[in-house]
Structure 1
Amino acid sequence: MTDVDLRKLRYFVAVAEELHFGRAAERLHIAQPVLSRQIRALEHELGAQLFARTKRATELTAAGRQLLEDARPLISSAEALRRRVAQAARGPRTFTIGFMPGITVTPAVRAFEALRPDIEVEVLRTTTFDQVQVLYDGRADVSVVRLPIEQRGLSIRPLFEEPRLAILPADHRLAGKPSVDIGDLADEHLMQHPDQVPEWRDIAVEPRSGRSRRFSEVSSVEEKLEHVASGRGISILPLSVARFYQRADVSAVPVNDLAPNKISLAWLASRRSRAIQEFAALAGTVDWVMTR
C-alpha cells in the first residue's frame, strides 16, 4: 500500500465530521466532485469502504470510524511538526504554556524565565475543549489542565486542587446560602456536559424525566455565565474561576459534597524536550496560591 496522503486524510475528517459531502466541500473550499474523487481514491488506497452512502444520509462504516479515531492525532502531529519547524526557523526559541480560565501561571512563568533566560515564554488561554488539543497540534509545549481529561499519550504532573461552586442566578431560591448539597440541585438544568459533574449526573432529575433541554455547545466561561444570569440553568465552576468572573447577576455557592477540581500539568509523553522536563520539575515547586 502506498503512503497515505495527509491531504486526503484532512478531506476524510471533514466529511466524517459533517457527514455531508456538500457541507464538507464548503468547509474545505473545494468543489464537491473533487472531494468525492479524493475520498474514493483514499478508499482505494486503504482497500476499505469508509462511508455508507444513500440518497438520504452519509454514515461512517466500521473502517471509517477506526480511521477517524486514528486520523485526528496523526493530522495534529503533522501540524505540530510544522509549527515546531517554523518556530525553529524563526528563532529565538519560544516555549508556550497553555492554561485554563481562573488559573494564574505568572509565578511559574517568572520562575522559568529566571531559569532559562535564553527561552522566550508565551502563554495561551485554552478551554475545556482544546486544553489537550493544543499539545497535539503544537500550539503549546505544556498545558495546565483541569481534570478529567483523556490522558492517553500524555505525561501528567499533579499541581493542586480547589473546591467547586454552584453558579446560580442572583434571584435563585438557593442564592446567598452559606452552602448547599448536590442533592439540592438535582432538579436544575446544568449548563455543561453532565460528565463534567458526575455527582450531579448520577442524581439529576432532568435526564431521567424525558424533558432534557439542549443548548448549543457552551465553551467559554463568559457564555456559561450569560446563560446562568438569564435563568436558563446553573453551572459548576472551580473557586478560582468563580472569583475571577464575579458579577452581580449571579451567585456562587459552595457545594458540600462535590469532589475538588484537580489541576495538573500535561505534555506529550513522546516529546523529549529538555525545556519541558525543566518546566515540569519547576511547576511542582511553585506556590500556586495566586490561583486560590
Structure 2
Amino acid sequence: MTGSDIPSSFRLAYVPGVTPTKWVRVWHERLPRTPLELVQTTAADAPGLLVDGGADAGLVRLPVDRSVLSAIPLYTETTVVVIPKDHVATAAEEVSLDDLSDEIVLHPLDDVLDWESLPGRPAFEPPATTADAIELVAAGVGVLLVPQSLARLHHRKDLTYRPVRDAPESRIALSWPEAETTPDLVEEFIGIVRGRTVNSTRGRVGADRQRPTEKAREKAKDKQRSGGSGGARQKPAAGGKPSSGGRSAQRAGGRSGQGGKRTGGQSGQGGKRGKPRGR
C-alpha cells in the first residue's frame, strides 16, 4: 500500500462509559501520520452510525446485528446499584436483586442492561436518560442499576454504588460494518485492542511500515560480502583445526604431530626430575 492509498484519518465511535484513551495512545505511536478521530455516540445510536458510514469502527455495547456488523467482544462490565451515601445498602460490600425488591428501581429509556424482568418497584414515570436518573437518585426518589463505568461517569459526591451479584451484565465490543474484506485501518485497530505487538500486526498498513529500507538492505548485503572473504577465517578458534600454514610448521619441526606430543610429554617429565644437562 502506498502513502496515497492510506485513508487520511480513522474514525472511531465510542459509547458513554468506554474510555479508549490507552488504545488511542498506541495508535498515535504506531501510525503517527494517520489521525484518529473520536466520535461520541449513544449506545442506541452506535450501530446505525457504523452502518451508515459515520465511523469506521466503534466501541459499542452488545448485542449488535451480526448480519450487518462484525464484532469482537472485549470485556464484560460489573453491574452496580447507585444509591445515596446514607442508604442502608452501603453497609454491605455487594447486594442482590432480592435486597432491592422493596426499592423503587429507576429504568431510564437509555438503559443498556438486558432485563428479563425488571427488579424492584417501578417508578411512576421512567426518566429519559441515565443522567436524569442519577439526579432522581440524589433526590431520594429511587435507586439505579447501571454498568460500573456509567456509575463512575456520573459520579456525585453524595452518591455511591455497590456491585449487584445477580444482575445482568453489559459487554463491550469492537464493531465495524460487515464486509468480505476488513479495511486495513480496522485491522490495525483490532491488533491494538487485542494487544498485538508491532511485529505481529496483520494489517497491510503495519506490514508496509515494517518493510526494510533501501539503506538496511544495502547494509545486509555488505555484511554478507564481508563475511564471505577469507580474512575473517585465517585465525582459527581456540582448540580448533589449524590452518594450512600451521600444518606446514608442524611438518618442518617434526615427523608428525603425534611425535610432537610425545616430545612435549617427555620435556614435562624431565622438568620434574631435575635440571637438564647443558651441552
TM-score under structure 1 normalisation? Answer: 0.56
Q: Identity of counterpart residues, as a percentage?
A: 29
Residue 258 in structure 1 maps to residue 167 in structure 2 = yes
5+ long unaligned stretches in structure 1: 1-87, 287-292
Per the alignment, in what secondary structure is the counterpart of residue 108 of structure 2? coil
**For the residues of structure 2 that align with 1:191 and 1:117, how far apart are their CA atoms?**
43
Shift of 1:195: 7.5
Give the number of aligned pairs: 191
Query: Which one is further off, 255-264 or 136-145?
Result: 255-264
| Counterpart position of 1:192 | 108
| Counterpart position of 1:97 | 12
| Counterpart position of 1:267 | 176
**For the residues of structure 2 that align with 1:171 and 1:127, how far apart are their CA atoms?**
31
Shift of 1:269: 0.7
The CA deviation string for residues 65-109 of structure 1, in whole angstroms up to 9 with x for no partner, is xxxxxxxxxxxxxxxxxxxxxxx9xx9711111112222211211
Shift of 1:118: 2.8
**For the residues of structure 2 that align with 1:149 and 1:228, how far apart are their CA atoms?**
30
Contact 2:81–2:161 (CA under 8 A) maintained in structure 1: yes
Amino acid at match of 1:213: F
Which aligned pairs between 1:152-231 and structure 2 lie closer than 5 A? 152-187=67-102, 188-193=104-109, 196-198=112-114, 201-202=116-117, 204=119, 206=121, 213-218=124-129, 221-231=130-140
Contact 2:70–2:175 (CA under 8 A) maintained in structure 1: yes
Shift of 1:176: 4.7
Residue of structure 1 aligned with 2:32, choices 102, 117, 122: 117
Amino acid at match of 2:82: I
| Counterpart position of 1:134 | 49
> Residues 194 and 282 (structure 1 numbering): CA distance in 2 closer, same or farther, change over 3 Å?
closer
Amino acid at match of 1:128: A
**For the residues of structure 1 that align with 2:51 and 2:119, how far apart are their CA atoms?**
34
Amino acid at match of 1:262: R
Amino acid at match of 2:151: A
**For the residues of structure 2 that align with 1:246 and 1:195, how far apart are their CA atoms?**
17
Larger Rg: 2
> Residues 93 and 224 (structure 1 numbering): CA distance in 2 closer, same or farther, change over 3 Å?
farther
> Residues 215 and 163 (structure 1 numbering): CA distance in 2 closer, same or farther, change over 3 Å?
closer
**For the residues of structure 2 that align with 1:160 and 1:197, how far apart are their CA atoms?**
15
| Counterpart position of 2:192 | 282
> Residues 241 and 205 (structure 1 numbering): CA distance in 2 closer, same or farther, change over 3 Å?
closer
Amino acid at match of 2:185: A
Amino acid at match of 2:193: A
Per the alignment, in what secondary structure is the counterpart of residue 224 of structure 1? helix
> Residues 105 and 233 (structure 1 numbering): CA distance in 2 closer, same or farther, change over 3 Å?
same
**For the residues of structure 2 that align with 1:155 and 1:110, how far apart are their CA atoms?**
24
**For the residues of structure 2 that align with 1:203 and 1:239, how far apart are their CA atoms?**
19
Contact 1:170–1:229 (CA under 8 A) maintained in structure 2: no
5+ long unaligned stretches in structure 2: 197-279
Residue 245 in structure 1 maps to residue 245 in structure 2 = no
> Residues 151 and 176 (structure 1 numbering): CA distance in 2 closer, same or farther, change over 3 Å?
farther
Residue 233 in structure 1 maps to residue 233 in structure 2 = no
Amino acid at match of 2:144: S
Amino acid at match of 2:175: A
TM-score under structure 2 normalisation? Answer: 0.59
Shift of 1:180: 0.6
Contact 1:165–1:253 (CA under 8 A) maintained in structure 2: yes
What CA RMSD, in Å, does the superposition of the two structures yield over aligned residues? Answer: 3.0
**For the residues of structure 2 that align with 1:240 and 1:216, how far apart are their CA atoms?**
19
> Residues 204 and 110 (structure 1 numbering): CA distance in 2 closer, same or farther, change over 3 Å?
closer
Which structure shows the higher helix fraction? 1
